[in-house]
Amino acid sequence: MTKQDQQYSRVARRQQAAHKQKHSQQPKKKWSFKKIAVTVALSLVALIFVGFIGGSLLFFAYAKSAPALTTSKLTSDSSTTIYDAKGHKILTLGTEKRQAIKEQKVPQQLKDAIVSIEDKRFYKHHGVDPYRIMSAAVNDVTGSSSLQGGSTLDQQLIKLAYFSTKKSDQTLKRKAQEAWLAIKMDKQYSKDQILTFYINKVFMGNGIYGMQTAAEYYYGKHLSELSLAQTALIAGIPNAPSSYNPYSNVQLATQRRNEVLNAMVANKKISAAQAAQAKAVSVTDGLVSQDAHTNSSQTKQAKWSDAYLKQVIKDLYDKGYDPYASSLKVYTNLNMDIQKRLYDMANTNEYVYYPDNKVQIAATIINPNNGKVLAMLGGRKNGDVTYGLNRAVQTSRTNGSTAKPLMDFGPAIEYLSWATYHQLEDTEYNYPGTSIALHDFDKAYKGTMTMQDALMQSRNIPAIRALATVGLTRARNFVNKLGFNYKSVEYSNGIGMPSSTLQNAAAYAAFDNGGTYYEPSYINKVTIADGESKTYESSGKQVMQASTAYMITYMLQQVITNPSGTGYRANIPGFYQAGKTGTNAYPDDIETNFPDNATMDSWFNAYTKHYSVSIWMGYDHPYRDANYLDTTTARIPIAFYKSLIANISQGKSNTNWKRPSNVYTKTLDGQKYLYLAGTSDPYTSQKKHSNSSTHSSNSVASSQDTSSISSLTTTSSVLSSSSSSSSSQSTAESSSSSAASANTNSSQSQTPSQPSNPTSSAATTTTTTNPNQ
């Protein structure tokens, strides 16, 4: 390159650099507001378009799988049907209380009232109302209130006919299908047809369906005979039937009726003067007396399943279903054969003898392997009462010595690794931290005895000594893992805890199955109107070591099989079972004028490999008149159990519990005791014993571990053997080693004062033992 070329090149580069600098310093072109607005608008349109396309595709995908729209579904009842464990129908709620009205018979006044309060644009939209949807959305954002939500009457009818009212089921898919079916229905049927479907299907409270049925139930009239005030209430009830019940919630019912009247004025269906005149009438004016409904056909259901059905209905509500507002098929765990047997045994003297018709008995039977409640008895001689007091669940009565495996000896094995041979003192003793003496029914002391014998003979002092060693905190933790919910416990609870037969049966089931607690369950499956089903199974939780459960079971077997055991009257030779008696005596500090052997509560908790059973007996008001159990009547729960278990165990396998590999046996003084591997008992160091350690299954009641119960003793012979057992021990009943007298040695009068709230402390005795009741 020449010098001239080089000079030219330098000049060119300078010019290029200057040009670049000039242009780089120029300000960038600003976007105008118009351009920004257009860009944002186009973007929003694009997003809306994409969202619309996506939403439409999703909507039609859901709509495609919607159930078929049929007249039969729209006109059929919305009742819930309940089935037993075998799929046999037990009860259909509300069908016997349904009267349909024909389209041409529906009064115009009722149409005006319903449309005004529920869907004032009913005759204008086509099943789904965009205006209502937008209004509901705005109200949600602004927090404004409106008497009408986003669903039209069409959509409400579709929901009643096809879908669950459970909140968790209100999914996008269901909403899409609901809207699709509402639109189809609006094309297929006239508006008055749709309104008539709604009038006949809607739930009206008190187990009744349809507005014609409600008119007859509440006022004893046909819909056409109702006054304006009465019509307004009938139209308003479906929104919240329980809240607007004119029998129980007069104020809310009045408020709702007035809302309907105001809506009719706003919709120009009545004048303000007519509304004011109707409002002046009491909502109770013209109501049929509730006594007239006492003998309704609802009470014709099988009385023997009343307590169980009451729990099923409660469980449905707890799970989010409304059995009276939805069309459900509910498959329960109820064993109808056992349930009928319970009812017959409680309401006749054919199986056991009752002293009078006032004495009550309650029972719960659970499958220990899954927590399913197989049967439940809520009481006896209840007349025509429907869903009455369920004593198996709703009453909390002190369970006496049946608490000892739960509060005392179970925790001692679980936390302290005690052997069943562990030595305990039955000597003079005060409740820890008090000067209150503890004693047994016989006021006697047995000296040093094993834990196994203390439980078998149901001695109180060794039990409380065990509890004191374990500590109240660990004992409470142990029982709370077994389904109780005590905020605190007292030492007196070691010989009696306020509880129900449901809680006791579920807790003892954990001893039965090797240490797993299952939440009791009544419902197996629920199917809603569109055919979708949900199955419910109780998930078990291991709450104690298998060794603890086995060692408790072994000792409880001795309670029944040993002639010195308090439950010996329940013994069936060769039959594997375990159990514990319990009684609750009257306190000394309350004057009753009852005999010294009078008892408030008598219990028997027992189990086999197939059933966990808890039975309670007593009076609802034990301080009134002569409402006490004597020595003879306190034995009825054992006789009841023996007759029951012999019957329901027919054909079931008869197997003993298998001993865990970490448990071994020792024979001491001719008796077998259980030890945990790796532990030794200081009390046996000087004993000569034969070590029967083995890792095979240990036979307790018989040398044969498995047999059939197809030839078990019949009911009559079971009772005969029970009677002979009683008479053969009658001379020994005053001895603490006697099976009969030891049956009354649970929670005694010399117990510390106890709190009065059973939900906050296990020390509470019972809600029905107040002398003022």
| Alpha-carbon gap, residue 578 to 555, rounded angstroms | 8
Share of the chain above pLDDT 70, in %: 73
Phi, psi of 714, deg, nearest 5: -70, 165
Same domain (yes/no): 734, 621: yes
Is 75 part of any domain?
yes
Domain identity same for 282 and 426: no
Domain that holds residue 659: 397-525+541-744
Instruction: Reduce the DSSP state of residue 160 to 3 states and report it.
Output: helix
Domain boundary at 252, 269, 293, which?
293
Determine, yes or no, domain membership for 277.
yes
Give domain status of residue 710, yes or no.
Answer: yes
Determine which of 106-110, 247-251, 345-349, 622-626 has the lowest per-residue pLDDT on average: 622-626
Residues 585 and 716 in one domain: yes
Alpha carbon distances (Å) from 75 to 106, 174, 200, 352: 15, 21, 8, 49
Looking at the fold, whether 469 and 594 belong to one and the same domain comes out as yes
Least confident of 24-33, 147-156, 158-167: 24-33
pLDDT tens digits, residue range 17-75?
555 555 555 555 555 656 556 666 666 666 565 555 555 555 566 666 778 888 888 88
Q: Which segment of 90-94, 314-318, 340-344 scores lowest on mean pLDDT?
A: 90-94
Q: Are strands 81-83 and 329-332 parallel, antiparallel or unpaired?
A: parallel
Question: Do the beta carbons of residue 492 and residue 751 sit within 8 Å?
Answer: yes
Please check whether residue 715 lies inside any domain of the structure.
yes
Q: Is residue 767 predicted with pLDDT exceeding 80?
A: no
Alpha-carbon gap, residue 321 to 234, rounded angstroms: 23
Q: Indicate whether 670 pLDDT > 50.
A: yes
Q: Where among 247, 268, 293 does a domain terminate?
A: 293
Residue 327, helix vs strand vs coil: coil
Instruction: Give how far Cα 448 sits from Cα of 295, 426, 554, 555, Å.
Output: 61, 6, 21, 18
Report how far residue 623's alpha carbon sits from residue 709's, in angstroms, rounded to the nearest whole number: 43
Whether 241 is covered by a domain: the verdict is: yes
Q: Are residues 443 and 579 in the same domain?
A: yes
Q: Report the distance separating Cα 661 and Cα 392, nearest Å.
A: 37
- Whether residues 285 and 406 share a domain: the answer is no
Claim to verify: residue 118 and residue 250 sit in the same structural domain:
yes
What band does 752 get if pLDDT is binned at 50, 70 and 90?
A: very low
For 181-195, 205-219, 525-539, 709-723, which range has the lowest pLDDT when averaged over its residues? 709-723
CATH code of 114's domain: 1.10.3810.10
Model pTM score: 0.71
Residue-wise pLDDT for 442-489, tens only, equals: 889 999 999 999 999 999 999 999 999 999 999 999 999 999 999 999
Question: Mean pLDDT across the stretch 155-179?
Answer: 78
Residues 433 and 554 in one domain: yes
Cα–Cα dist 503/520, whole Å = 9
Q: For residue 189, report the phi and psi dihedrals to the nearest 5 degrees.
A: -130, 155
Q: Which pLDDT value is given to residue 37? A: 60
Mark whether 79 and 215 lie in a shared domain.
Answer: yes
Q: Which helix (H) or strand (E) holds 604?
A: strand 599-607
Domain-located, residue 305:
no
Number of domains in the chain: 2
C-beta separation of 375 from 342 below 8 A? yes
Which residues are part of the catalytic machinery?
118, 401
Give the residue carrying structure tokens 């819909």.
223
| Residue 549: CATH number of its domain | 3.40.710.10
Q: How many angstroms separate the Cα of 483 from the Cα of each of 313, 371, 506, 560?
A: 21, 12, 7, 25
Q: What DSSP assignment string belongs to 189-218?
A: S-HHHHHHHHHHHSB-STT-BSHHHHHHHH
Kindly tell me if the per-residue pLDDT of 714 is higher than 50. no
What separation, in Å, do the N-terminal and C-terminal C-alpha atoms of the chain show?
124
Cα Rg, the chain, nearest whole Å: 36
Looking at residue 747, its pLDDT comes to 37
Is 673 inside any structural domain?
A: yes
Rounded to whole angstroms, how far apart are CA atoms 566 and 459?
10
> Which residue would you say has higher pLDDT here, 710 or 186?
186
Within-domain flag for 333: no
